[in-house]
Amino acid sequence: MQKYNWNYPTTMWVGENRINDIALACKNFNINKPLLVTDKGLAQSDIVKKTLLILKDNNISAELYSNVIGNPTGTNVNEGVDSYKKNQCDGVIAFGGGSGLDVGKAVAFMSAQTLPIWDFEDVGDNWTKANLDKIAPIIAVPTTAGTGSETGRASVILNEETGVKNIIFHPKFLPSIVILDPVLTVGLPSKMTAATGMDALAHNLEAYCAPGYHPMADGIALEGMRLINKWLLEAVKNGSNLEARMNMLTAASMGSTAFQKGLGGIHSLSHPVNALNNIHHGLSNAIFMPYVLSFNKDAIEEKIIKVCDYLELKDRTFNGFINWVLKFRKDLDIPHKLSDVIQEKDLDLERLSKMALEDPSTNGNPKKLTLEDMRLLYQNSMSGQLF
């Protein structure tokens, strides 16, 4: 596999075994004692052990913070910052799936702040409150092809006191170097490969459908969807296929790059069930996808037909695209209904609907959403009824 160095939207080192360059990445930013942030499972994996060994062999003494959970919390960030300061680190290696990347980026940012993390929620000009001095440099190493957090300027962190997932934003959240190495994703189980891949699809799809003028984001999103259509099933069925894994990593990074244009109702509905019901974000995005698409039909039909053309689908109509999504999910063994993963008694419909309406992603939806719309979308996703 050929190796590449890209410079959009940040410096990206791409290709097989690029993790071998992790020490060089540290040296590029004068990082001598990085804090490697990841989750407990990955901390025991061969890929993390190999990474730490590469650093050690190059006289770089890394510390490890690995208490990150699947839907990461403010506590995770605070603990990471404490570890960073206690060990006198000078940079962060954010390593893993979306949770490890989001916490790692937040730790690097918060290491220089005195205000609480919630003061930097992505609302208005909150980001301008930040102290820019001594924000730690970030090296991002994704091990899943889903969130694309490695190319994002935000982290999604759960506020345990409110039960709400907050989007924390600052331009300095964007990593200085990203290493995209498909070898690191080979061990990802097929179900997780499918769920994270659908997360990447949701990012590209909602970015493309979001209103506003951003042709660069639209172009990236279209190609991201094409790569997912071509390679996700192969990555699920044959996890050792490095070409499939590389293309999915690329598509995930593209989704995060594109969604600076906006997201929408899929993410609005997902964030509350991720926070309150601990459902995997990619899985919930996949479940909500056809319901939100159907709701938005009047506003996005023309755009969706262009997607059909680009993907070279046989049925290049709006309904043809819905049928493609449904079949794609079925082939990936992803459930059609929210009730397949959450029991109705565990669904606080009123609270979820209010949280979904207040989610920052709601503003990017192609059609205006009301509280009743959110309630109906949750109800339909439980019953399996499309609009």
Q: Is the pLDDT of residue 150 over 80?
A: yes
How does pLDDT run across 184-228, given as a tens digit for each residue?
A: 999 999 999 999 999 999 999 999 999 999 999 999 999 999 999
pLDDT band at 1 (very low <50, low <70, confident <90, very high): confident
Q: Which of 193, 306, 293, 288 is nearest to 244 (CA)?
A: 193
How does pLDDT run across 166-188, given as a tens digit for each residue?
A: 999 999 999 999 999 999 999 99
The CA distances from residue 89 to 33, 61, 108, 135, 341, in Å, are: 5, 9, 10, 12, 41
Q: 233 and 245 in contact (C-beta within 8 Å)?
A: no
Structure tokens at 12: 């990206």
Sheet holding 4-7, edge to edge: 4-7, 11-14, 177-180, 138-142, 91-96, 34-39, 63-68
Q: 182 and 242 in contact (C-beta within 8 Å)?
A: yes
Chain centre distance of CA 29: 25
Give the separation between CA 373 and CA 376, rounded to whole angstroms: 5
For residues 79-105, give the mean pLDDT: 97
How does pLDDT run across 260-283, given as a tens digit for each residue?
A: 999 999 999 999 999 999 999 999
Q: What is the pLDDT of residue 263?
A: 97
pLDDT band at 16 (very low <50, low <70, confident <90, very high): very high
Handedness of CA 32, 38, 40, 44 (dihedral sign): negative
Q: What is the pLDDT of residue 76?
A: 98
Q: Which of 203, 305, 318, 299 is nearest to 251 (CA)?
A: 203
Q: What is the pLDDT of residue 195?
A: 97
How does pLDDT run across 22-48, given as a tens digit for each residue?
A: 999 999 999 999 999 999 999 999 999
Q: Can you name the CATH fold of 4-184?
A: Rossmann fold (3.40.50)
Buried/exposed code over 47-80 (b: 16+ C-beta within 10 A; e: otherwise): bbeebbebbeeeebebbbbbbbeebbbbebbebb
Q: 263 and 206 in contact (C-beta within 8 Å)?
A: yes
For residues 8-14, give the mean pLDDT: 96
SS3 content of the chain, % helix, strand, coil (to 5): 55, 15, 30
How does pLDDT run across 280-321, given as a tens digit for each residue?
A: 999 999 999 999 999 999 999 999 999 999 999 999 999 999
CATH number 1.20.1090.10 given to 188-383: yes
Domain ranges of the chain: 4-184, 188-383
Structure tokens at 225: 């969807």
Assess whether the region 4-184 and the region 188-383 belong to the same CATH fold. Answer: no
For residues 77-87, give the mean pLDDT: 98
Q: Is the pLDDT of residue 65 over 90?
A: yes
Question: 101 in helix, strand or coil?
Answer: helix
Give the separation between CA 158 and CA 74, rounded to whole angstroms: 6
Q: What is the pLDDT of residue 342?
A: 96
Q: What is the pLDDT of residue 96?
A: 97
For residues 317-339, give the mean pLDDT: 98
Q: Is the pLDDT of residue 387 over 90?
A: no
pLDDT band at 108 (very low <50, low <70, confident <90, very high): very high
The CA distances from residue 140 to 107, 195, 204, 290, 320, in Å, are: 13, 21, 20, 32, 38
For residues 55-80, give the mean pLDDT: 96
For residues 113-129, give the mean pLDDT: 95
